[in-house]
Amino acid sequence: MELSERIHRLGTETAFVVSEEAAKFAAAGNKVYPFHLGDINLPTPENIVNAAFKAVKEG
Determine the Cα–Cα distance for residues 16 and 21; give it in Å rounded to an integer: 9
Determine the Cα–Cα distance for residues 21 and 44; give it in Å rounded to an integer: 27
Render pLDDT for 30-40 as a digit per residue (tens, 0 to 9): 998 877 666 66
**Total count of domains within the chain:** 1
What confidence score (pLDDT) does residue 21 get?
A: 86
Render pLDDT for 41-58 as a digit per residue (tens, 0 to 9): 778 899 999 999 999 999
User: Which residue in 58, 40, 38, 42 sits closest to 50, CA to CA?
Assistant: 58
Q: What is the pTM of this model?
A: 0.43
Determine the Cα–Cα distance for residues 15 and 12; give it in Å rounded to an integer: 6
In terms of residue numbers, what domain contains 36? 5-58
Top-confidence residue, 5 or 43: 43
Residue 46 buriedness (CB in 10 A; 0-12 / 13-18 / 19+)? exposed
